Structure 1
Amino acid sequence: MPATNVELSKKELELVVNSEFILTKNRIIQKVYDLFGVLSEDFRKILNSFSNSLPGEMHSSSPKIYKGENYLGLPYIMMDHPRFFNKDDAFAIRCFFWWGNYFSITLQLSGKFFNQYKAALSQFIKNKQNEAYFICVNTSPWVHHFEESNYKPFNAVPSEEILQKEFIKIAARLPLNKWNDAEIFFRKQYREFIEMLIRA
């Protein structure tokens, strides 16, 4: 049998002997952790300021930050706050860092929470208040990339189609080359999601 091809290309060899590449990657990942840690405190304050207008479940769990090395082959970090998931219902705002791609923030609602906020969502969709948003068109809520099979621009999907699904995911993204704008981006979008829901 032929031997497994384990020879390295020139580019692979350059990387495998370069420990600084991995050390730099680790520093970047830590900075995302630090950013999400700071944001989690800000988000908690925002939620508390709207405590009388949001479901009690939104205050029942603490922020959760977690990472992985292989979302479509690339490292990622997520933070959920609030985060409420059961078999039928979901209410979450998810911050996402995906190596080589972007930062994103997503509002995800299903079940009783989707029904509770349909009037507010309908008004938001009708007004087309922010063309920078994307709407999930996938049949699964657990896919995060922004290919056309998963997300489409906000104005490209009929509102009746959006509201007839079993869940809704509204997302915004920021290119990684705008890294220094990330903190402002997340704070602004987070507050806009919350205010969008309580306007009705």
Structure 2
Amino acid sequence: MSLFTTQELDLASDPTILLIKYRMMEKVWDYLEEIHKEFRTHLKKISTHIPKEINLNHGKISKGENYKRLPYSILDYPAYFSKEDIFAYRTMFYWGNFFSSTFHLQGDYLNKFGDLFIDHFKSDESTYFCINRKPWDYHYEKSNYVKFHTLSLTEISDHIDETGFIKISKKFPVEEMPERKEDVLSFLLEGLELFKTN
């Protein structure tokens, strides 16, 4: 039997931390709903050049308790998911780690728009590129994300050939989340502008 540490027993004796966590996750949900509403307002103005199958009327907010043993909340909007094709803009809160936004392109969206996204964002030193073979990891360890500008075009091309997807991401400190709403929106609009050029 494992022995309890003093720290573990102290925490288990105090309900405060879990009550704060519960309240925080409720506020994060509300925050993602606010972002969703703001996104929808802006996207109505530019909807004519966004592929019709991408749903601009609805977004999906989800949450869980165990991404690498920590709670998280996610907004997928705008997004389109099918077995072969994916375009998604995922905004994520990950407890104790980061607040992030990520473009995910796969299948037809990668074929049509991948080069545009790569050319546009590659020189941005605040942007990350996923080098993982699996598309559903979101941590920023070196096995998953690296700074985009450090990769060669050959490395990017090899990744695409091997995996069939790209993910381009930005992360922000959790403590800056309240004032980063505009950055998350700007990143989205910057990417959606690229649809105009194809």
Unmatched 5+ residue regions in structure 1?
none
Unmatched 5+ residue regions in structure 2?
none
* Shift, 1:64, TM fit: 0.5
Count of matched residue pairs? 194
What stretches of structure 1 move > 4 A for 4+ residues in a row?
A: none
Alpha carbons 2:56, 2:77 under 8 Å: kept = no
Q: 1:96 to 1:17 in 2, by over 3 A?
A: same
Counterpart for residue 116 of structure 1: 112
Task: Write the mapping of 1:123-138 to structure 2, written as runs, cut at 5 A.
Answer: 123-125=119-121, 128=123, 130-138=124-132
User: Equivalent residue of 2:47, what SS?
Assistant: coil
Counterpart for residue 67 of structure 1: 63
1 CA distance for matches of 2:184 and 2:178? 11
* Shift, 1:196, TM fit: 3.8
1:76-120 CA-partner distances (Å, limit 9, x unpaired): 101101221111100000001100100010000010011111342
2 CA distance for matches of 1:72 and 1:57? 33
Counterpart for residue 143 of structure 1: 137
Alpha carbons 1:174, 1:185 under 8 Å: kept = no
1:20-39 CA-partner distances (Å, limit 9, x unpaired): 11111111111111110001
2 CA distance for matches of 1:160 and 1:124? 16
1 CA distance for matches of 2:194 and 2:10? 49
RMSD: 1.8
**Bigger mean CA deviation after superposition, 177-186 or 135-144:** 177-186
1 CA distance for matches of 2:59 and 2:141? 28
Alpha carbons 2:55, 2:79 under 8 Å: kept = no
TM-score using structure 2 length: 0.90
Alpha carbons 2:40, 2:56 under 8 Å: kept = no
> Counterpart amino acid of 2:155?
E
Alpha carbons 1:96, 1:105 under 8 Å: kept = yes
TM-score using structure 1 length: 0.89
The match for 1:107 among 103, 106, 110 is: 103
Counterpart for residue 51 of structure 1: 47
Q: Which has the larger radius of gyration?
A: 1
